[in-house]
Amino acid sequence: MRPPMLSLRPVHLSVLVGVAALALACGGNDDPASHAPGPVDLGPPELDDDLPRPLAEGRAPTPPMGWNSWNSFGIEVTADDIKAAADIIVSSGMKDAGYEYVNIDDGWGAPHENPDAKPPIPAERDEDGRPRTDADFPDVAELADYVHGLGLKLGIYSDRGTETCGHRVGSQDYTEIDAQTYADWGVDYLKYDNCAADENEEVKRMQYGAMREALDATGRDIVYSICAWDFNEWGLGMGQLWRTTSDIIPTFAGDASDPMGLEAEHTILGIAKQNNAFAAYAGPNGWNDADMLEVGRFGDDAESRAHMSLWAIMASPLIAGNDLSIMSEATREILTNTEVIAVDQDALGIQGVLVKTVGDLAVWAKPLNESGVRAVAIVNKGLEPSPSVTVSWTELGLRAGNAEVRDLWQHADLGTTKDAFTATVPSHDVVMLRVAGSEPTHPKGNVHLGDFPWIYAANGLGPVERNRANGASAAGDGMPLSIAGQPFAQGLGVSAPSSVIFRLARNCSRFTATVGMDDAAGQGSVEFHVLGDGEVLWESGIVKKADGAQSVDVSVEGVVRLKLLVTNAGDGPALDRASWGDPIVECGPG
Ligand code: GAL
């Protein structure tokens, strides 16, 4: 397979060219220079002094990293397999690269009791109600000691229902006893599954919450991984990570005959697409879990590279799932690429998002914990090598001008380039870069944010729309923006969950807007939040369409980054089209 090609050719873009125009320029013509009026004097780069931020406190300040038995061993896993995996995590360099948790998945527990079976299946719990283990796991406490002795941590798996998906003992009605048993064994991480359980949403929420409380009551620090197969708003603040999708398979892309096309469910691309919709919710101690890695389980190393890049740019937990005893050197290098891992583990904790697609190429970007720096991944989902694609700095939420580019798979500095770069990506492969340039120029005077460049925009359905409502699918598909019958020529049309971040650079004093469900919305409900550098400045409470419009008028004195966040209010993301009408910042002249 040919390595990805990257050419850095200087292109000249006006800083005033809008994002949509740039997208058009790149989509229709790979050389945006042909649309540009000529070079402009951009002045010195603008950088903020509040980055890098310190690592957050808590159990998972960055996405958990480790290895899990399920993808390669399934229900047949043994304690010896876990010990062997732990040994290789150390000897292969994975531990040094950050892999910490060694997670036993389904298969360690005694078979779920079935008195009707012939011969009957014996009791799955002892006389004190503690779960019995399968014969292949004679002593989990001893296993925990072994793993801890290597400087690693032990994870275990259970289920909120009567039995696990593999028909082993489940935790229903035994939540406290099980949590205490895991703590007594020395377990550090629990993945909690969703099989054989009451499907009532309230029961589900209560059962997941009960296990969180039971784990806390043990007094042991145990990371809680919610495995409910889709995103649930109640999981925020409950788990340190939560699955957003159904199970992953070692298949990079679907095929055109599938209703979801190349982004078919369960595939790497399908999971990335679904997980992207929840980007606004990710952050330190609460990560969207795009499921375990299939790196090393494809025929093709390029697919593993692209998969690893996507998970890193999405700040997903990195839980390897390959059989480490047969790991190739190429797979080892992919899993231990510390430059890619650094993107995943970046302490700022923002989940990267899809910023544009051009044909079969998808461009993803993630702001990093250093002013003026973004990670970029360009993935080719097609079967043909891509034509070259040009990505401008402004599309990454940076300012036009000079930026230094580093290729994170080639481990090579590519030098300084102006305004944009052009890459060619082979089929099912990736180009992953670190771009260090300038933050966008801050607003001066009274500025309508509907027209101002953002540095980050995550949205539940389709892209954030400028000066129109969200149509929940393609760019520009929304109706004119309108709240409670009042039209707004300017604003932002979003679909919860959404997060749009603007750089104010401490130059602004007030933020005003009119917010509400858009008149194009259905019966959904959302909550608007205005944050300045992580601090909540204003919240709307739950808003439905019948509640009409609310006015926001808050001080943003001293704020470096303003975040306009819309969360869905617990009834799912459907029809949650929400609008920021006339979002204006009042700023100083300089
Ligand atoms: C599924 C879960 C998988 C794996 C499996 C074990 O429900 O999503 O990740 O844990 O159960 O039976």
What pLDDT is recorded for position 573? 59
Mean pLDDT, all residues of the chain? 91
Helix (H) or strand (E) holding 80: helix 79-91
105 C-beta closer than 6 A to ligand 1: yes
Q: How far is the CA of 205 from the centre of ligand 1 (A)?
A: 19
- Give the mutation target among 75, 247, 271 for probing the ligand 1 site: most ligand atoms within 8 A of CB: 247
3-state SS, one letter per residue, for 411-475: CEEEEEEECEEEEECCCCCEEEEEEECCECCCCCCEEECCCCCCCEEECCCCCCEECCCCCCCCC
401 C-beta closer than 6 A to ligand 1: no
163 C-beta closer than 6 A to ligand 1: no
Catalytic residues: 193, 247
Distance CA 251, CA 520 (A): 38
Residue 35 per-residue DSSP state:
G
At 4, the pLDDT band (50, 70, 90 cuts) reads: low
What pLDDT is recorded for position 526? 94
3-state SS, one letter per residue, for 38-78: CCCCCCCCECCCCCCCCCCCCCCCCCCEEEECHHHHHHHCC
247 C-beta closer than 6 A to ligand 1: yes
| φ, ψ for residue 354, nearest 5 deg | -70, 120
List the one residue out of 578, 549, 551 whose CA is nearest residue 566: 578
**Residues in CB range of 43: below 8 A, 6 or more apart:** none
**Ligand 1 atom with minimal separation from the 165 CA:** 12
**Residues in CB range of 237: below 8 A, 6 or more apart:** 286
Distance CA 475, CA 480 (A): 13
**Residues in CB range of 555: below 8 A, 6 or more apart:** 509, 510, 537
Residue whose Cα lies nearest atom 8 of ligand 1: it is 247
> For residue 274, what are the β-bridge partners?
none
pLDDT in tens, 469-515: 998 888 888 899 999 999 999 999 999 999 999 999 999 999 999 99
pLDDT above 80 for 14? no
What pLDDT is recorded for position 574? 64
What pLDDT is recorded for position 256? 81
Range in 140-144, 177-181, 296-300, 443-447 with the lowest mean pLDDT: 296-300
- Give the mutation target among 72, 105, 204 for probing the ligand 1 site: most ligand atoms within 8 A of CB: 105
Query: Can you tell me the mean pLDDT for 581-589?
Result: 98
71 C-beta closer than 6 A to ligand 1: no
pLDDT above 80 for 415? yes
Torsion of CA 334, 338, 340, 345, to 10 degrees: 130
Burial class (CB in 10 A: 0-12, 13-18, 19+), 186: middle
- Give the mutation target among 106, 292, 293 for probing the ligand 1 site: most ligand atoms within 8 A of CB: 106
Would you call 564 helix, strand, or coil by DSSP? strand
Range in 113-122, 140-149, 174-183 with the lowest mean pLDDT: 113-122
**Ligand 1 atom with minimal separation from the 157 CA:** 10
Q: How far is the CA of 193 from the centre of ligand 1 (A)?
A: 7
Query: Can you tell me the mean pLDDT for 201-227?
Result: 98
Q: How far is the CA of 452 from the centre of ligand 1 (A)?
A: 44
At 40, the pLDDT band (50, 70, 90 cuts) reads: low
193 C-beta closer than 6 A to ligand 1: yes
Residue whose Cα lies nearest atom 3 of ligand 1: it is 247
Q: How far is the CA of 365 from the centre of ligand 1 (A)?
A: 30
Range in 29-38, 453-462, 499-508 with the lowest mean pLDDT: 29-38
Domains of the chain (ranges plus CATH)? 446-587 (2.60.120.1060)
The number of beta carbons lying within 10 Å of the beta carbon of residue 32 is 26
Alpha carbon of 35 to those of 12, 17, 25, 364, 551: distances in Å?
Answer: 9, 10, 7, 24, 39
70 C-beta closer than 6 A to ligand 1: yes
263 C-beta closer than 6 A to ligand 1: no
- Top pLDDT among 45 and 205 is at 205
**Ligand 1 atom with minimal separation from the 191 CA:** 10
- Give the mutation target among 108, 171, 193, 243 for probing the ligand 1 site: most ligand atoms within 8 A of CB: 193
**Residues in CB range of 365: below 8 A, 6 or more apart:** 313, 352, 353, 355, 374, 375, 376, 395, 396, 397
pLDDT in tens, 315-367: 999 999 999 999 999 999 999 999 999 999 999 999 999 999 999 999 999 99
What pLDDT is recorded for position 5? 55
Q: How far is the CA of 480 from the centre of ligand 1 (A)?
A: 44
582 C-beta closer than 6 A to ligand 1: no
Residue whose Cα lies nearest atom 1 of ligand 1: it is 165
227 C-beta closer than 6 A to ligand 1: yes
Q: How far is the CA of 195 from the centre of ligand 1 (A)?
A: 9
What pLDDT is recorded for position 575? 73
Q: How far is the CA of 491 from the centre of ligand 1 (A)?
A: 43
159 C-beta closer than 6 A to ligand 1: no
Q: How far is the CA of 165 from the centre of ligand 1 (A)?
A: 6
- Top pLDDT among 118 and 38 is at 118
What pLDDT is recorded for position 305? 98
Highest mean pLDDT pick, 213-222, 383-392, 473-482: 213-222
pLDDT in tens, 97-143: 999 999 999 999 999 988 787 777 778 999 999 999 999 999 999 99
Distance CA 512, CA 32 (A): 35
At 24, the pLDDT band (50, 70, 90 cuts) reads: very low
DSSP letters, 227-276, are --SS--GGGTTT-SEEE-SS---S-S---TTSTTGGG-TTSHHHHHHHHH
Residue whose Cα lies nearest atom 11 of ligand 1: it is 165
pLDDT above 60 for 373? yes
Q: How far is the CA of 61 from the centre of ligand 1 (A)?
A: 25
Query: Can you tell me the mean pLDDT for 384-408?
Result: 94
Alpha carbon of 92 to those of 61, 96, 325: distances in Å?
Answer: 25, 9, 10
Residue 130 per-residue DSSP state:
P
pLDDT in tens, 261-319: 889 999 999 999 999 999 999 999 999 999 999 999 987 999 999 999 999 999 999 99
The number of beta carbons lying within 10 Å of the beta carbon of residue 279 is 24
| φ, ψ for residue 482, nearest 5 deg | -160, 130
Could you tell me if 547 and 476 are in contact, meaning their C-beta atoms sit under 8 angstroms apart?
no
**Ligand 1 atom with minimal separation from the 248 CA:** 9
Alpha carbon of 93 to those of 89, 252, 336, 450: distances in Å?
Answer: 6, 26, 7, 48
Distance CA 481, CA 459 (A): 17
77 C-beta closer than 6 A to ligand 1: no
Q: What is the pTM of this model?
A: 0.93
- Give the mutation target among 68, 165, 229, 242 for probing the ligand 1 site: most ligand atoms within 8 A of CB: 165
Distance CA 308, CA 297 (A): 12
- Top pLDDT among 529 and 590 is at 529
pLDDT above 70 for 34? no
Q: How far is the CA of 158 from the centre of ligand 1 (A)?
A: 10
What pLDDT is recorded for position 375? 98
223-226 and 491-495: which strand pairing? unpaired
339 C-beta closer than 6 A to ligand 1: no
Could you tell me if 83 and 73 are in contact, meaning their C-beta atoms sit under 8 angstroms apart?
no
At 19, the pLDDT band (50, 70, 90 cuts) reads: very low
294 C-beta closer than 6 A to ligand 1: no
pLDDT above 90 for 387? no
Query: Can you tell me the mean pLDDT for 15-25?
Result: 26
At 53, the pLDDT band (50, 70, 90 cuts) reads: very high
